[in-house]
């Protein structure tokens, strides 16, 4: 690691081609947001708190999820993973939430 110079870092990752960059950006923005949205919904279902408190804590945490998803998207080994990991995770969380609407809306 000590041998790694600053200059090496800035030669950039393998996928510097504009189209591949665009894919990753889209995955980070939309896929990431979708995961954040789904996490908010899921935590609103899952947290052991009063309704308003669940919504607030879930929403406050979701920015961290979006940021983490963005980092993952750009670190992912392939563009495929950059997309389907957050989207699948989001779909799973959202799916579980939609199965228990009464529970999500409990006081």
Partner 1 sequence: MKESFLKSMAWLHTWSGLLVGWLLFVIFVGGTIACFDAELDDWMRPALHATAAPQTPRFDAAFALSRQQAPDAHVWWAHRGDSRDRALESYWVLDDGTEGQVALDPGTGEPVPGTAGGEFFFTLHYNLHAGLPGMYLVGLAGMLMLVALIAGVLIHKRIFKDFFTFRPRARGQRAWLDGHNVTGVLGLPFHLMIAYTGVAIFTASYMFGGINAAYDGSVERFFAEAGDFYERPETGEPLQRLHPVDPLVADAERRLGVPVDWASVHHPADSSAVIAFGTDHSRRVAWDMRQVSYDGETGAFLHQSREPGAGYTSYAYLGGMHMAQFGGPALRWLYFLMGVAGCVMIASGLQVWVRKREKRVAQAGALSGYGLVLGLNVGVVAGMPLACVAMLLANRLLPAALPDRAASEVAVFCASWILAALWGAWRTRRGRGWRELFGATALGLVAVPVVNLAATPDSALPATLARGELALAAVDLTLLAFATAFGWLALRRPGRAVQAELQARLEAP
* 80/101 with CB nearer partner 1: 101
Q: How far apart, in Å, are the Cα atoms of 65 and each of 24, 29, 33, 80?
A: 17, 12, 9, 20
Which of positions 22-81 make contact with partner 1 (CB under 8 A)?
28, 36-45, 49-60, 62-64, 66-68, 70-71, 74-75
Which of positions 1-20 make contact with partner 1 (CB under 8 A)?
1, 4, 6, 8-14, 16
Shortest Å distance, C-beta 84 to partner 1: 18
Shortest Å distance, C-beta 75 to partner 1: 5
Shortest Å distance, C-beta 64 to partner 1: 8
4 Rama class: left (phi>0) / alpha (psi -120 to 50) / beta = beta
Cβ atoms of residues 42 and 102 within 8 Å: no
Rounded CA gap, 93 and 82, in Å? 18
Cβ atoms of residues 103 and 45 within 8 Å: yes
What residue ranges bind partner 1 (CB under 8 A)? 1, 4, 6, 8-14, 16, 28, 36-45, 49-60, 62-64, 66-68, 70-71, 74-75, 94, 97, 101, 104-105
């Amino acid at each position: 690691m000590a041998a790694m110079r600053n200059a090496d870092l800035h030669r950039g990752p393998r996928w510097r081609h504009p189209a591949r960059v665009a894919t990753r950006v889209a995955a980070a923005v939309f896929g990431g947001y979708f995961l954040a949205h789904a996490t908010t919904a899921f935590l609103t279902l899952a947290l052991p708190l009063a309704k308003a408190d669940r919504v607030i804590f879930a929403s406050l945490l979701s920015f961290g999820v979006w940021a983490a998803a963005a980092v993952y998207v750009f670190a992912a080994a392939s563009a495929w993973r950059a997309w389907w990991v957050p989207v699948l995770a989001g779909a799973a969380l959202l799916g579980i939430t939609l199965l228990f609407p009464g529970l999500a809306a409990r006081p």
